A and B are shown apart, each in its own frame.
Chain A
Amino acid sequence: DADVTQTPRNRITKTGKRIMLECSQTKGHDRMYWYRQDPGLGLRLIYYSFDVKDINKGEISDGYSVSRQAQAKFSLSLESAIPNQTALYFCATSDGGGTGGDQPQHFGDGTRLSIL
C-alpha cells in the first residue's frame, strides 16, 4: 500500500460546486502539505500543517481551505470551484525531526481535478 494516499485520483466537476480532496498517510509524519501543479508553473504550496493544531497558509491559499482531522489525515476543500482551479493536486508529508526543514517530502500520486 502507498505511504501517502490521495482520493479521488480524478475528478471532473462544475463551476460553483464544493469539492473535497482527501489525503491519508501511514508514514507517521507530523508535517503535511497540499500543492497544486500547473504546466510551466511547477508545484505551488497551498496550505501546510506541522501538527494537528497547526495550519498555515501557503503561497496560493485563496479559494481553498483545509482540515487536519488527525495526524494521518489532511483534507483540502474548494468551497466554490472555479475553472482556474483546474490542476493536478498533490499531498505530501515530511518528518519534523531536527529543524525539520531539510527532511525530504513524500508525495502522493495526485488528484487530477477538472472544473468545467
Chain B
Amino acid sequence: SQKIEQNSEALNIQEGKTATLTCNYTNYSPAYLQWYRQDPGRGPVFLLLIRENEKEKRKERLKVTFDTTLKQSLFHITASQPADSATYLCALPGTYKYIFGTGTRLKVLA
C-alpha cells in the first residue's frame, strides 16, 4: 500500500541555520507533492506544490526538491527564524484523494 514517512522526531536548529525536512514515500509514483505547515491548535496551511517534472521549487526562504528516483522530497527553510517553529506535513495524491505524512516538528532556537 502507499506509504509516506516523515521523521517523527522533532528537529531543533539554531536561528539563522538551514532546516531540512525529509518526506519519503513507497509503493507510489506521484505526479506531484505538497507541503503544509501546521501550528498548534490550527489547521494545516498550504505552502508549496512541486510536480514530478520539477526538480526544485522556491518560495521566499523555502525550497522544495523532488527526487522521483529516490522517492523523496526535501523541504528546506533557509535563514530560519523562531517564527518558523511548527509541524511540517507532506501530502501526496492517493487512493483517497490525499495522503498526508505524520509531520515533522521543527523548533528554531533563538
Contacts and interface: CB of A to CB of B under 8 A. Distances in A.
Interface in A50-82: 58-59
B89 interface: yes
A21 to B, nearest CB: 13
A97 interface: no
Given A59-B96, A102-B93, A108 B49 contact: no
Interface in B72-104: 89, 91, 93, 96-98, 100-103
A90 B38 CA distance: 12
Contact of A102 (B41, B42, B49): B49
B51 to A, nearest CB: 8
Nearest to A48: B97
B69 interface: no
Interface residues of B, number: 23
Majority SS of interface residues in chain B? strand
Contacts of A20: none
Given A104-B34, A104-B49, A42 B100 contact: yes
A58 B96 contact: yes
Interface in A99-116: 101-102, 104-110
Nearest to A45: B96
Given A41-B102, A102-B32, A102-B49, A109 B42 contact: yes
A48 B94 CA distance: 13
Contact of B43 (A42, A102, A110): A110
A48 B45 CA distance: 19
Contacts of A105: 34, 36, 44, 46, 91, 98
19 contacts: A41-B102, A42-B100, A42-B103, A43-B89, A43-B100, A45-B96, A58-B96, A58-B97, A90-B43, A90-B44, A101-B93, A102-B31, A102-B49, A102-B93, A104-B34, A107-B43, A109-B43, A110-B41, A110-B42
Q: 7 shortest A-B CB distances, which residue pairs?
A: A107-B43, A104-B46, A42-B102, A43-B100, A45-B96, A59-B96, A58-B96
